[in-house]
Each structure stands twice: as structure tokens, then as C-alpha cells.
Structure 1
Amino acid sequence: MSDLIHGGDLISASAQYGIPVEEWLDLSTGINPVPYSVPEISEHWFQQLPYQSAEFKEAVKSYYGAEGVAANGTQQIIELLPSVLPELPILLPDCGYQEHRYSWQQQERELNYYPATDQEAAEKRILQQLNSGSAMHLLLINPNNPTGLKFSPEQIYHWAEQMQQGAYLIVDEAFIDLSPEQSVLSDYDRFEQLGNILVLRSFGKFFGLAGIRLGFAFANQQILQQLQTELGPWAVNGPAQAVAIAALNDAKWQAEARQQISQNAQAALELWQPLLTKLEFRKIDAELLSFDGLFLTAKLDTQKAKHIYQFLAEQGILIRLVLDEEFNCDLSGDKAQSDSKNCLLRSGLVDAQNADQCQKLKRVISELLLTLE
């Protein structure tokens, strides 16, 4: 496990700013703020060794449309991929979930990057690699957190068809649950026929239950068997299976959650709007890199971003500050002007029905605006 810092670390934030954990408004993650209600769990899920039940496997197949390998979060699978997949270089997004990069670094693999804040440039770099004739794994975080970069299933299938022998196209779909039709698993026959795509799916974000630690991998049978061998027989604890069975089978809640998340994203955007207006954000597509789904991301001057992050943290609101050097990318747009470098600020969603949350964020943003005069 790496020592990288992630969103949601309220323990460290509490220690740094002297604010008790329970008093924070945590907007630093992309997790549904209205979680699935945990059902009553039978004692046998705690008492028996957690072999994966037939009911659990059926719920997974029903929801994701495929049989895969379950693990204690996709993080566990991400750590295993470099040792399970053929020993080749990899092309990754220069901004994205850091643990991908870290896992491949730990195996001393050659890392190459494509820009994750520019759709056209990203596709151009990927196509350049595919046309080079050299075998290289390709990682897509679809949609990308924090930049919001997205690729269509058809584009991904097309790239998979062009991959060199032995190379795999890895698609991290941690945030795809809001638009399941955009998953490459939605056309399972094509996915299975290609055989060189590996899909990661995360349970905790959409269902708002990150503490469950549950994730899945879908790939050809050879890769799935290798992963299963590495994970062992008890990769998913019993209570997590019980919760997943209920949640994955609850189609009514899922449909309502997608609608509610959309409403909460709009509410969050409206609460942030006075600050965005103050910072003269005029074009959502250029400067506000992602404005729907489970997080909002804005690109702005590093000095201002640090001030905003610090001010909010001192008031008990935690967002995510993504600095240029943290990810392998230059967000400035002009490498010659190092004093005007940009970085990313990412916020998760509020629960629009939680008046205390909304009022706190609205008040603190109003106070923040006074410091930007």
C-alpha cells in the first residue's frame, strides 16, 4: 500500500486544523453524499468464512452484466495488475487516480503519459502510440477523476482492436454507474470477443458506501483466474457481500439515486457559482473541467487555489487540491510562465436536502469572497 494522500482523510485534516472529525463537511471525495441504507445483516455473514456466495455472484452478474473477480476494493486489484499483466510499458493519463501510476512504478515498468485535460490532445497521443507498432498497455480512467475526460464505448472498442499482441486496454470505470450504458461492459459480446480489455468497477462511490471496500475486475478468463489466485478465497468479507446483494439488486433505489445525484450536482454548482463568477469563469467547457456526476473540478491559478483550499479548511470544509507536481502534468498552458501555473480544485457533492450542509457551504463561500476583493 502506498503513502499517497487521498481525499477523505479527515483524520489528518482534523489534526492539522484542530477541528473534530465529526464537525467537517467533507467535499474532498467523489462519493454519493446520500448512501444506500445498509440493511439488517444476518449473524451468519459474520460467523462463517466469507466464501463468495452464489447469491452474491448472481447479484454482481445481474448489475454489471458480466462475471468478474471481486476484491477488497479496486485498489487491491490495481496493486496486482502490473504483476498479472504481460511485462510491457504502459500509457497512462497524466492526471488521474495516483495509485495506478504508483503501482506500475513499484514494478519498475516504463511509464508514458497522455494529457487528461485536453480531449483532442489525449486522443492524438493515444492514436500515436497505437500506430507506433510497439506493444504497450493503455489505461483509461473513464470518466477521469479529477479532469472529467471521457471516451465513448465505441472509441474504446476501436482502440482495443488496434492494440498490439499481449497489450491490454485497462478501463477504470469507478464513476460510470451514473451512465451504465457508457460502460464497455454494456456490449458484453464485443467485450468478450476482443479479449484484451480489462474493466475495473467500484462499488463504494455510486452507492455511497466507501467503507465497504468492494471492487470488481472483468477480463478474459485467464486474467481473472490469475487475479483470483492472487486474491485468495476470502477477498470480500461476509457483511460486505450481504450489503452488496441488497444494493446491486435494488433497481428502484439505483434509478432514484441517479436522479438525486444529478439534482445534488446542480445544487453544488449553484452554491459554488458566486465563487466561480468572482473568478470570472465564463466557459464551463474550458475552465470548469467537470460539472456533473459525483464531483466538480475547476482549473485556476495555483496561488488562488491554495488560498481557497486553506480558507475553506480553516472553516471545516475539506475539498481536494490537485497540484501540478502531484500528477505528471503541466496545467499552465505555457511552460515559460512558471509564475502563472494552474492547478485543479475538486469538490464532491452536497446533499441538497441537508440544510445544515448547504447553509454552511453558502456562508463560508460568502466569507471567502470578501478575502478575494
Structure 2
Amino acid sequence: MLEHGGNLRAAARRYGRDDWIDLSTGINPWGYPIPMLAPNAWHRLPETDPALVEAACRYYGAVQLLPVAGTQAAIQALPRLRRPSRVTVSAPSYAEHAQHWRRHGHTLHLSSYAALDAAVDASDVVVLCNPNNPTGETVPAEQLLDWAARLTRRGGWLVVDEAFGDTAPGLSVAAHAHRPGLIVLRSVGKFFGLAGLRLGFVAAEAGLLRELADLLGPWAVSGPAQSIALAALNDGVWQAVTQARLQSAGRRMDKLLSAHGIAAAGTPLFHWWPQDDPQAFHEHLAQRGIWSRLFLDAAYGIRLGLPPDEAAWQRLARAFDEWRER
């Protein structure tokens, strides 16, 4: 398996602490409050609830969606729905995309965001994250729709992973994903802080959604996950308050990093920057019980999520001060 953030057990084994501040993911630390669930959420076989799909379509602005057990399920399945193809995946990016297109016999090319436009005409499939994880790079919706049209004319696909798209809704192309050739992935885990729910959605043309549903099989999403997500997707008041809270916290992180000479990129939910000797900085934070995400590949640097409370903010600030004074 590829390494991802959130691996606190590994941190605890290595450093022997139990007071971790986990900043290794971009998950909202103030997640949606879990409502009381009806008993049949646990008892019944979890056929897809049409009310969940309707709520998700309203929230994401999509015409049609398929609920899946986290966008990871779709990332693993989509390469199995095409014959061997020329696939370009943006890099650096969420590494699972490239892993699974390569695994299923496709010819894989990795491309920087700057080179994606040229790659479109040499590819059958182009895959990117928007906003990108971990670098925060973005592509305007108009550009994505142009790429999708060019690929569709040759029977190709544009796959856009919008897992971190909730805080930048103007970038989304989910409203157009009922057209052939455009596939959009959305996640309940990041903005709603419900990563453990394992729930995401795929927006695409109806025929492709049927193929994907057949491949994933019946009861792909648990009943409790559907009930909780239905409440979250319908709760506009919580969403508005959370948008404001995340934007404010993102600005606070910008200010903290800038005060230490760090020009970071990212989203309100996470910040990434190229760091000289990132292993030493990662170790410095870990010794203080702060778990960050270390990147040693094309995204050479450090990514931090948001601290959950004031004590965690102060502890992070002290760690930065001590790094500067070392």
C-alpha cells in the first residue's frame, strides 16, 4: 500500500507518545455532528437511498451521482472500465490515481499541471485533482471543460478529483458531468470531517454510472453512512458556518507560516510548501507530538492540516519558534 496521512499508530510506535496533534491529513477537524440514527439503518441491507442521491445532487450541483464507499473505491474501479489506454495523471498529486491506472495495464504518463494542456491531445484519459492534493494547484472550470470536450471527441475521459472542492465551489465541473467523457469525484470525508464514514460520489454519464455500479456490486455504502451523509448534505446552516470557520482558520495558518518566512500553497483545509531538509523538520514536529505529512517525491516538502483547538495552535506556533531558534 502507498503511504498516506493519518497513520498515527505508526507515529505512536516510533515516538511512544499518546498526545498527538494530527495535522497529517486535510480533514476538517470540526466534523459534522453525528445525528441519532434510526434502528433500521443498522438492520436493513443498505440499498441506495434516493433521498441521499437527491441531496447530493443539490449540494454538488450535479445532474446524477452514484454513491460509493469513498472516492477511493471509484479510483480503484475506473481503470477497470476501459481497455488499455494512454493515461496522463497530474503529478505531484494523490498517488492512488497513478497506482491503479498503472496496475490495470494502461500506459501511464505523469505530467506537471503546466504541461497538462499539451498532454490532452496525446492521451485517451487525463486525471487530475482540483484543487490538487498536496500542492493546492488549480485549473479553471472553463479549461477543464475544454479538455473534456477534446478528449470526448476521441472517446476519451477527463477524470477530475474534487475531493477538496467544497471550499472552492467555483472550480467545480460536477454540473457538467452528465455529458460523455467527464467524470467527477466528490468526497464527504474532507469538508464534512467524516473520513471514517467512507462515502463519496461519482458524477458521470448514466451509462458509465451503471457500469461502475455493476462493478462495485450491491450494498456498496453502509446504511449508517447514508443516514449521516443525508443529514450533513441537507444541513445548509452547518455548511455555511463551517465554510466561514475554515476560511478563517486557513487565513490564520497563512499568517503563522508567513511569520516564519514560509510561502505556502494549498486550500483552507491544508497547506503545503517545499521545505529544505523536510525530514529534519518532520522529525522536529514529531518530537513535539505534532504529526505532519512528509513528502519526499515530486512534492518534496511538508503538508499541514488545521489544528483542532487553541492549545494545538499554540503548540504548533512554539514548534515553529523552536525550529527557527535551533
Provide the TM-score with structure 1 as the length reference: 0.83
Question: Which residue identity lines up with residue 318 of structure 1 in the other structure?
Answer: W
Structure-2 separation of matches of 1:130 and 1:312: 40
Aligned: 1:256 with 2:241: yes
Q: Is residue 25 of structure 1 aligned with residue 1 of structure 2?
A: no
CA contact (8 A) 1:70 1:215 kept: yes
Deviations 1:173-216 (A, max 9, x none): 00111122321024x3xx43x41100000111000111001011
SS of the residue corresponding to residue 204 of structure 1 reads coil
Percent of paired sites with the same residue: 37
* Alpha-carbon distance in structure 1 between the residues aligned to 2:90 and 2:319: 34
In the comparison of the two structures, how many residue pairs are matched?
Answer: 324
CA contact (8 A) 1:29 1:348 kept: yes
Describe the superposition over 1:64-107 as per-residue Cα deviations: whole angstroms up to 9, x where unpaired: 22321111100011001110134212101120111111111211
The equivalences for 1:111-126 within 5 A come to: 111-116=108-113, 122=114, 125-126=115-116
SS in 1 for 2:275: strand
- State whether structure 2 residue 183 is matched by structure 1 residue 198: yes
Amino acid at match of 1:128: A
CA contact (8 A) 1:268 1:350 kept: no
Q: Which structure has more helix as a fraction of its residues?
A: 1
Aligned runs of 1:1-373 on 2, under 5 Å?
Answer: 3-20=1-18, 23-66=19-62, 67-116=64-113, 122=114, 125-132=115-122, 135-163=123-151, 164-186=153-175, 188=176, 191-192=177-178, 194-275=179-260, 277=261, 281=262, 284=263, 288-290=264-266, 292-301=267-276, 303=277, 305-324=278-297, 329=298, 343-351=300-308, 354-371=309-326
- The Cα offsets for residues 94-145 of structure 1, whole Å up to 9 and x where unpaired, read as 20111111111211321112114xxxxx2xx22323344xx42001210101
Q: Give a deviation string over 1:335-357, Cα, whole Å, max 9, x none.
A: xxxxxxxx221111123xx2211
Output the amino acid matched with 1:294.
L
Q: Distance in 1 between matches of 2:82 and 2:243?
A: 34
Measure how far apart 1:153 and its partner are. 0.9
Structure 1 segments unaligned to the other structure (5+ residues): 117-121, 332-342
Kept in 2: contact 1:114–1:126 (CA 8 A): yes
AA partner of residue 289 (structure 1): A
Helix, strand or coil at the partner of 1:207: coil
Alignment check: 8 A CA contact 1:289 1:299 kept: no
Query: Cα deviation per residue 1:219-271 (whole Å; 9 max; x = unaligned)?
Result: 11121011100111201101101110100001111111111001111222233
Residue segments in structure 2 that go unaligned for 5+ positions in a row:
none
In terms of mean alpha carbon deviation, does 96-105 or 58-67 score higher? 58-67
Question: For 1:127 and 1:362, how far apart are their aligned partners in 2?
Answer: 40
- How far does residue 24 in structure 1 lie from its aligned partner after superposition? 0.5
After TM superposition, the score normalised by the length of structure 2 is 0.95
Q: How far, CA to CA, are the matches of 1:296 and 1:129 in structure 2?
A: 27
What amino acid sits opposite 1:130 in the alignment? V
Tell whether the 8 Å contact from 2:197 to 2:225 is kept in structure 1 after alignment. yes
Q: Is the 8 A contact 1:146 1:346 kept in 2?
A: yes
Shift of 1:158: 0.9
User: Could you say which structure has the larger radius of gyration?
Assistant: 1
